[in-house]
Structure 1
Amino acid sequence: MSAHECDVVVVGLGPGGEALVARLAKAGLSVVAVEAELVGGECPYWGCIPSKMFIRAGNLLAEARRIATLSGTATVSPDFSLVAKRIRDEATDNWDDTVAADRITAAGATLVRGRGRLTGDRTVEVDGETYVASKGVVLNTGTTAAVPPIPGLADTPYWTNREALKAEQAPASLIVIGGGAIGLELAQAYSRFDTEVTVLEVAPRILAPEEPESSELLTKVFESEGIGVHAGITIDRVDHDGNRFTVNCGDTTYEAEQLLVAAGRRSRVDDIGLDTVGVEAGKFLTVGDDMQVTDGLWAIGDIVGRGAFTHLSMYHAERAAKSILGEPLGAYDDSFPRVTFTDPEVGGVGLTEAQARDKGLNVRVGLTDVAVSSRGFVHGIGNAGLIKLVIDTDRDVIVGATSAGPTGGETLSALAFAVRAEIPLETLRNTVYAYPTFWRAIESAL
């Protein structure tokens, strides 16, 4: 059978892959777009969008329960069917990707359904069909939920983020293995629908990649809301008797109706034919700032190990497109922002204090309590938060920042610009900050 010829093959149509296909096709290249599951990837169907709909619903319940403290009385009766319906009908079209697939073909690309695998230089095979790309191949195969090798776990009907966001009703009780962003967001959202939730984390603290102050803040908030948080534990075994899960941690046993495994993500880099192009399949693929793995092969998104975020994948897509099209790249921006959408939201950008010190920078830290700011005072209940600035004193610029609090992710935008543009502290100190806003607390941390 003869091979299909094109300019570029893109394997994996998550947000970055989809954006890259459209960009290249509109530039006049012939593009073959390969997807094994749903066009759009994890984010719109099992991640960012449905989870934020769920969180929005849970946050409304939390706000309603705060009415008695500030403004009157309210009766709150959670109805999980409403958020389940919204996720099914509005976010995912009942997990149908027709609209997204039509975007691919409307851009002028050829959509191929199936699992793509490299079979040689600039060559991809999908279900027995071979596609040869004159310019090269871009891999955007993403990640899947990492399942730790805990004895007994594999034999149980545990949830990952996918099952948690397709659920039609909230369980009476839930154990969450994993205290990262995904686990914490879903833990709090389910708790607000009256699920009894316990979070188990093997690391010394939850939200370990972020500042320890953020971990402490979220732990206090979660515990005040009745969510159990247990960090620094060892999980010995998981069992399921047909009705309930049992998680054994040394001398302590936890039981719940449902178990969510949110122990990180695993790159889909095995069995995609990397050996056929002389590339070793490690945990991630190593790329240059032009997103090239090797001549004629690019990789973008989660599989390059620079951060598992939709906005970062789309940034990678633009850089890969420029590389393929021979356009100027500019310097790589590694100060990307990130947000955990708990309540309070926790946003971070650039380096943490520990990372900055590990780099040998002379560091000064600015820290302020959002709750005691004017806006925090006005806000009242639900005002927990902080702003932390990591300052390079040799250059007098902010190299990292954390914004936690109500709308902490929005407040982060000002700090992201400050870090990316290396705005001098003197300029920031002489900036007028609107009163009374949450972002005005930045001034107090300078």
Structure 2
Amino acid sequence: MIVDNWRDPVDAVVVGMGPGGEEVAGRLADAGLDVVGVDQRLLGGECPYYGCIPSKAMVRAADLLAEAWRVPGMAGTCMVEPSWAPVARHVREATADWSDKAAVDRFTARGGRFLRGRGRITGPGEVTVEDESGREIVIRPRRAIVLGTGSEPAVPPIPGLAGTPFWTNREAVAAEEVPRSLAVLGGGAVGLELAQVFARFGADVTVVEAAPRLLPAEEPEAGELLLRVLTEAGLTVHLGSLAAAVGHDGSAFTVDTDRGDRVTAERLLVATGRRVDVEGTGLAALGLGDASGLHAVPADDRMRVLPPLGSRPGVWAIGDAVGRGAFTHVAMAQADVAVRGILGEGGPPWSDRATPRVTFTEPEVGAVGLTEHQAVEQGLQVRTGTADLRSGARGRLHGPGGDGFVKVVADTAAGTLVGATAAGPAGAGGEMVSALTLAVHARVPVSDLARVTWAFPTFHRTIAEAVKMVL
């Protein structure tokens, strides 16, 4: 093993160049610091290559098919023949055929330097990078180490699964053709988005979810709505079913559940969450104790793992690695807090009180803050209001596919919303939740929200109906 010491001055090392890491490294470089960015995968992270961008291109294509199928009875006649080839081509274009050359050039043009390799902390103020040739490069930055190491698809230890050609989201977005049948393990956001996409392009799709409802982290009403819509569209859903064994005979998968069901499919998508490789960050080298039992990197609301001390650089962590929401917008917001801390600029700390999240199915589900169950668990005095989207003019005008609702969760003692969910067609869920996010973030009194004038006829007017119920 060849070990080299990085001899040029370095102010900061950013390990993990996903959206948050790239933001930190770029802004520090803009500020005149000598910055080294490190990543063993593609600069830009999961979002532009395997997550948000390519999957939403697929979702958009599938939504176009669904809209065309609704033309009869609403606007005339229409014949649609699904074709995956243009979708695969669009995904390749959106991801630059899974090349990060443009991203690397963009970062180095700002003055940063990029190392392709696996970076880890190997001592106080020390990062070691193992590059593609196996050479180890030791870097000792003067001001900051930032961990933005992201997360990986979590693959459960199901007997028979290891060694089979199963998909995660990474293989699914790179698919060159639609399988005849697809089994999906996991009824969360990723699993349902991709399940609906492939079903609309002709796959026979079965979803297996261990929890008693779909979208188990969200309001029960959201899971119930999607269960009805998906099953009406021909998908098969097994709830409360844990995959107990997986088999693959070279041409098809079998999934046996603990309830005695057997699912057979050409392809298997594992969408059972994500995991953070905390041990791989090298936290133990900082003297913080055994990291083997940690599921995330411990960081405070200033994103600090260790504050600067004397000649020792500080250590910050952002994004998926800190376990406070695996979303690009969370990583970017935390990146801003970390940059301000490194540069000594102060400003507000990170808060997850009003973090929005969107499941890009149809109906689309947007949510912010606490669910009703979470609010009750925290001991809040809770009142909820739920209004059906179809009760408003826009819902009735929308016709088929106009399903949805708005649910608000109010803390009656404070007189403000602490959470909300909006579900609706044509992107309505994610768009409606923006107004609700502002209300939760700014702690707008419910009495003020009740006096807001909402445009008619819009989906947003349903918010007013839900708010009236918690006054």
TM-score by length of 2: 0.93
Name the counterpart of 1:429.
450
Residue pair 1:403, 1:412 contacting (<8 A) in 2 also: yes
Rounded Cα–Cα distance in structure 1 between residues aligned with 2:250 and 2:36: 46
Letter of the 2:282 partner, please give it. G
Equivalent of residue 399 in structure 2, options 375, 380, 387: 380
Q: Specify the SS of the correspondent of 1:83.
A: helix
Letter of the 2:299 partner, please give it. V
Rounded Cα–Cα distance in structure 1 between residues aligned with 2:52 and 2:239: 25
Rounded Cα–Cα distance in structure 2 between residues aligned with 1:278 and 1:329: 29
After TM superposition, give the deviation of residue 425 of structure 1 in Å. 1.3
Equivalent of residue 245 in structure 1, options 253, 269, 282: 253
Residue pair 1:333, 1:420 contacting (<8 A) in 2 also: no
Name the counterpart of 1:256.
265
Letter of the 2:276 partner, please give it. S
After TM superposition, give the deviation of residue 427 of structure 1 in Å. 1.2
Q: Specify the SS of the correspondent of 2:141.
A: strand
Letter of the 2:106 partner, please give it. R
Name the counterpart of 1:330.
348
Q: Specify the SS of the correspondent of 2:301.
A: coil
Name the counterpart of 2:100.
97
Rounded Cα–Cα distance in structure 1 between residues aligned with 2:56 and 2:210: 26
Equivalent of residue 307 in structure 1, options 325, 344, 347: 325
Rounded Cα–Cα distance in structure 2 between residues aligned with 1:235 and 1:115: 33
1:396 aligns to 2:419 (yes or no): no
Letter of the 1:440 partner, please give it. R
Rounded Cα–Cα distance in structure 2 between residues aligned with 1:272 and 1:234: 31
Name the counterpart of 2:194.
186
After TM superposition, give the deviation of residue 329 of structure 1 in Å. 2.6
Letter of the 2:243 partner, please give it. I
Query: Where in structure 2 are the equivalents of 1:27-426 lying within 5 Å?
Result: 27-89=31-93, 91-127=94-130, 128-249=136-257, 250-279=259-288, 280-281=290-291, 282-295=294-307, 296-334=314-352, 335-406=354-425, 407-426=428-447
Residue pair 1:174, 1:197 contacting (<8 A) in 2 also: yes
Rounded Cα–Cα distance in structure 2 between residues aligned with 1:208 and 1:221: 16
After TM superposition, give the deviation of residue 205 of structure 1 in Å. 1.1
Deviation by residue 1:309-358 (Cα, 9 ceiling, x = unmatched): 00000001000001111112314321110000000110000111011111
After TM superposition, give the deviation of residue 385 of structure 1 in Å. 0.5
Letter of the 2:142 partner, please give it. S
Rounded Cα–Cα distance in structure 1 between residues aligned with 2:273 and 2:109: 35
Rounded Cα–Cα distance in structure 1 between residues aligned with 2:349 and 2:383: 26
Q: Specify the SS of the correspondent of 1:137.
A: strand
Rounded Cα–Cα distance in structure 2 between residues aligned with 1:285 and 1:154: 27
State the Cα RMSD in Å: 1.0
Deviation by residue 1:241-261 (Cα, 9 ceiling, x = unmatched): 111111111422110110000
Rounded Cα–Cα distance in structure 2 between residues aligned with 1:305 and 1:272: 14
Rounded Cα–Cα distance in structure 2 between residues aligned with 1:182 and 1:404: 17
Letter of the 1:361 partner, please give it. L
Rounded Cα–Cα distance in structure 1 between residues aligned with 2:5 and 2:225: 60
After TM superposition, give the deviation of residue 35 of structure 1 in Å. 1.2
Q: Specify the SS of the correspondent of 1:194.
A: coil
Rounded Cα–Cα distance in structure 2 between residues aligned with 1:73 and 1:270: 58
Residue pair 2:147, 2:281 contacting (<8 A) in 1 also: no
Rounded Cα–Cα distance in structure 1 between residues aligned with 2:447 and 2:348: 27
Residue pair 1:290, 1:329 contacting (<8 A) in 2 also: no
Letter of the 1:303 partner, please give it. A
Name the counterpart of 1:25.
29
